[in-house]
C-alpha cells in the first residue's frame, strides 16, 4: 500500500471521518434463543443455558453490540436427581430452554419452560440487574412460548411448533386463565416456507406495532436452511397472513427491537458448529407494513453501529480467584455443570485459589458434580489454568476440560500414589486415555486451545511445568455440536474421585485469550 495512502487513512481515522464498524456475528459465542427488549437507553437480552446453574442469563448493552452479563433469573432451576446429577440421572440438553423477556409497568418478566421439571417458569423483578427475582411456575411446560401484554390489559401466550396455540393468562402470570381464550392460532405456521419441513415453526416472539400484530418464528425446510417466518394480523386471534422474512446463511430465530434513534433491528442466531449458536444483528426496514430483514435479502457482515470492544469481560473473562470484600463469589461468566454442591467448593479455604473438593465417588466426568464452566469463543480461543496438587487422593482426577457430549480433558490422575498427566477423549460415550506422562511436581499448568475458524472445530491440550514452555499431550479433539448436549463447547475446571472422597485440588487462576 503506498505510503501517501496510509497517511490519508490515518488522517481520516484521526479526524473521525472514518470510523470502525460493528461486524457480524455480534457475539462469536454460544448465546442462542435470544429475547431482547429496550427500556430507556438500555437493551436487555435473555438466552438459553439449559443444564447449567445459575441459569436464564440476562445481558445488557447500550449500543446493541457490546454486551455484558448482569444477572441470572435463577440460581437453581429445581432440586431433583436430574439437575443434581444424582442416582445416575442428568439433564444434558434439557434444563430450561428458550426464554421470553418482557417489561411492563416497572416489572421485568423472564419466562422459560423445562422438560426437566415439566413446568413453565416465570421469574419477576423490579431490578433486572440486581434482583432479587421471584418465581412462579405451573404445569405443563409450554414449548418455545412468548408472553405478550396487550393494550387492553389482557396477557396472552403463544406456544408450540408447526401448529401454534394461543392461550390467555392470568393477569399476574401465575398460570393460564381458566375461562380465557384457548385455541389454535395458526394451523401450519411453517407454510410460507413450503410443504416439506423438517422443523415446524417455533420460537414464537410477538409484537404490536402501529396497531398491527407481528409474529416471528423459525422453521427449517428440508434440504434448505433455518428460515425466519413472519405473520401479521389486525387482531390477535387473526386472521394471519405470513411470508418468509429471511432466508440467508441459516440466520434465524429472534425478533425485533427499535433503537432510540428510530432504527429497527432483528436479533437472530446462526448454528455455527462446535462454538455453538451465535448471535447476528440484522437491520430492518418497513415496507408496505411489513418488516423487511437484511440488505437485499442478505445478512450484512458490517453494521453502522459502534465496533465491538471484544467478549471479555462481558461474556467471558479471566479469573485470578482473588476477591475483594463484598464482591460476588463467582463472576457471572461462570456457570456450574448442573447444580453445584456448595460445601465442596471454596474461594476462602486457600485465599486466592478455587478449591474443588470431592464429595462422592463418580464413574465418569459427565456425571461428576461441581465442574465450573464458561463459554469457549471464536474464531479461536484458549484457556489456561495452574493447579496445586498437594490435596489429591488416590483415584482423583482433576484438570481442564472441554465440555460437550464428545468431551476432552487434560488433567492429573493419582494412581497408586503416583501423579500422572493424562489426556482423555470421549469416543462413542466412552472415555479413552490417549497419553499418560509421569508427573513428579506438585504444581502444573494446563491449556486447552480451540480453533473454530471456517468450522475447523478442533482443539488441542497442552501442559507446562513453568507456565511458558508448552508440550502437546494426547491427540487432537474434534468439537462437533451434538444435540444430546445442545450447546457450544465450554471450558471446565473439574475434580472428581473414583475411589476415595475428600481429596482436593487448588486452581490458582483461569486465564482466557483469543489466541491458540
CB-based contact 450:459 (threshold 8 Å): yes
- The torsion defined by the Cα of 128, 133, 134 and 140, in degrees rounded to 10, comes to 80
What tens-digit pLDDT sequence spans the chain (516 residues)? 443 433 333 333 343 444 579 999 999 999 999 999 999 999 999 999 999 999 999 999 999 999 999 999 999 999 999 999 999 999 999 999 999 999 999 999 999 999 999 999 999 999 999 999 999 999 999 999 999 999 999 999 999 999 999 999 999 999 999 999 999 999 999 999 999 999 999 999 999 999 999 999 999 999 999 999 999 999 999 999 999 999 999 999 999 999 999 999 999 999 999 999 999 999 999 999 999 999 999 999 999 999 999 998 999 999 999 999 889 999 999 999 999 999 999 999 999 999 999 999 999 999 999 999 999 999 999 999 999 999 999 999 999 999 999 999 999 999 999 999 999 999 988 999 999 999 999 999 999 999 999 999 999 999 999 999 999 999 999 999 999 999 999 999 999 999 999 999 999 999 999 999
Per DSSP, the residues of 431-463 read EEEEEEEEE-SSEEEEEEEEE-GGG--EEEEEE
Rg, Å, the chain Cα set: 24
Q: By C-alpha distance, which of 300, 230, 294, 291 is closest to 258?
A: 291
State the Cα–Cα distance between residues 192 and 184, nearest whole angstrom: 18
HEC states along 160-181?
A: EECEEEEEEECCCCCCECCCCC
Domains in the chain: boundaries: 335-513
| Burial class (CB within 10 angstroms; exposed 0-12, middle 13-18, buried 19+) of 191 | middle
- Check residue 483 and give left, alpha or beta (phi > 0: left; psi -120 to 50: alpha): alpha
Within 378-442, strands assigned E span 380-388, 396-403, 408-415, 418-427, 430-439
CB-based contact 381:472 (threshold 8 Å): no
CA 2 → CA 7, 9, 10, 301, distances in Å? 9, 11, 13, 27
Could you tell me the pTM of the whole model? 0.95
CB-based contact 59:44 (threshold 8 Å): yes
Quote the pLDDT of residue 20.
77
CB atoms within 10 A of CB 129: 12
What the block records as the C-alpha cell of 154 is 389482557
Residues paired with residue 192 on neighbouring β-strands, in sequence order: none
CA 120 → CA 31, 90, 145, 409, distances in Å? 21, 19, 9, 35
State the Cα–Cα distance between residues 57 and 73, nearest whole angstrom: 7
Fold topology of 335-513: Jelly Rolls (2.60.120)
CB-based contact 256:216 (threshold 8 Å): yes
Per DSSP, the residues of 112-148 read EEETTTTEEEEEEES-TTT---EEEEESS--TT-EEE
Quote the pLDDT of residue 436.
98
State the Cα–Cα distance between residues 315 and 190, nearest whole angstrom: 33
DSSP state, residue 106: T
Quote the pLDDT of residue 4.
44
Q: What does the angle CA 239 – CA 245 – CA 246 come to, to the nearest 5 degrees?
A: 160
Amino acid at each position: 500500500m503506498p505510503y501517501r495512502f496510509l497517511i490519508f487513512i490515518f488522517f481520516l481515522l484521526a479526524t473521525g471521518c472514518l470510523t470502525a464498524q460493528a461486524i457480524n456475528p455480534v457475539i462469536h459465542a454460544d448465546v442462542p434463543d435470544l429475547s431482547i427488549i429496550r427500556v430507556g437507553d438500555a437493551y436487555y437480552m435473555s438466552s438459553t443455558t439449559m443444564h447449567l446453574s445459575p441459569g436464564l442469563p440476562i445481558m445488557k448493552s447500550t449500543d446493541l453490540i457490546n454486551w455484558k452479563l448482569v444477572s441470572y433469573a435463577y440460581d437453581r432451576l429445581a432440586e431433583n436427581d436430574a439437575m443434581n446429577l444424582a442416582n445416575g440421572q442428568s439433564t444434558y440438553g434439557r434444563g430450561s430452554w428458550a426464554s421470553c423477556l418482557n417489561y411492563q409497568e416497572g416489572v421485568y418478566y423472564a419466562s422459560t419452560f423445562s422438560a426437566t421439571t415439566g413446568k413453565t417458569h416465570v421469574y419477576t423483578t423490579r431490578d433486572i440487574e440486581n434482583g432479587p427475582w421471584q418465581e412462579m411456575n405451573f404445569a405443563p411446560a409450554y414449548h418455545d412460548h412468548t408472553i405478550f401484554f396487550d393494550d387492553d390489559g389482557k396477557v396472552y401466550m403463544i406456544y408450540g411448533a408447526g401448529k401454534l396455540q394461543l392461550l390467555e393468562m392470568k393477569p399476574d402470570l401465575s398460570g393460564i386463565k381458566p375461562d380465557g381464550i384457548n385455541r389454535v392460532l395458526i394451523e401450519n405456521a411453517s407454510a410460507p416456507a413450503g410443504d416439506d419441513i423438517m422443523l415446524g415453526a417455533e420460537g414464537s416472539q410477538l409484537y404490536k406495532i402501529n396497531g398491527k400484530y407481528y409474529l416471528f418464528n423459525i422453521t427449517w425446510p428440508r434440504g434448505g436452511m433455518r428460515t425466519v417466518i413472519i405473520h401479521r394480523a389486525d387482531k390477535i386471534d387473526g386472521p394471519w397472513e405470513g411470508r418468509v422474512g429471511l432466508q440467508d446463511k441459516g440466520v434465524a430465530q429472534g425478533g425485533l427491537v427499535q433503537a432510540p434513534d428510530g432504527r429497527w433491528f432483528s436479533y437472530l442466531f446462526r448454528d455455527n458448529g462446535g462454538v455453538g449458536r451465535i448471535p447476528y444483528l440484522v437491520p430492518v426496514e418497513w415496507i408496505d407494513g411489513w418488516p423487511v430483514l437484511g440488505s437485499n435479502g442478505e445478512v450484512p457482515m458490517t453494521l453502522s453501529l459502534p465496533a465491538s470492544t471484544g467478549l471479555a469481560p462481558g461474556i467471558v473473562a479471566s479469573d485470578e480467584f482473588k476477591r475483594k470484600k463484598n464482591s460476588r463469589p463467582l463472576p457471572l461468566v461462570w456457570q456450574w455443570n448442573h447444580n453445584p454442591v456448595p460445601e465442596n467448593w471454596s474461594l476462602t479455604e486457600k485465599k486466592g485459589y478455587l478449591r474443588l473438593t470431592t464429595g462422592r465417588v463418580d464413574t465418569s466426568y459427565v456425571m461428576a458434580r461441581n465442574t465450573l464452566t464458561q463459554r469457549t469463543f471464536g474464531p479461536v480461543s484458549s484457556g489456561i489454568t495452574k493447579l496445586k496438587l498437594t490435596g489429591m487422593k488416590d483415584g482423583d482426577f482433576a484438570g481442564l476440560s472441554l465440555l460437550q457430549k464428545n468431551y476432552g480433558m487434560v488433567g492429573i490422575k493419582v494412581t497408586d500414589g503416583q501423579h500422572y498427566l493424562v489426556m482423555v477423549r470421549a469416543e462413542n460415550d466412552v472415555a479413552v486415555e490417549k497419553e499418560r506422562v509421569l508427573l513428579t511436581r506438585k504444581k502444573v499448568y494446563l491449556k486447552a486451545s480451540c480453533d473454530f475458524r471456517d468450522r475447523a472445530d478442533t482443539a488441542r491440550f497442552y501442559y507446562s511445568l513453568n507456565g511458558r514452555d508448552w508440550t502437546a499431550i494426547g491427540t487432537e479433539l474434534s468439537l462437533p455440536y451434538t444435540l444430546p448436549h445442545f450447546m457450544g463447547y465450554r471450558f471446565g475446571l473439574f475434580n472428581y474421585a473414583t475411589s476415595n472422597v475428600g481429596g482436593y485440588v487448588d486452581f490458582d487462576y483461569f486465564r482466557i485469550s483469543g489466541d491458540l
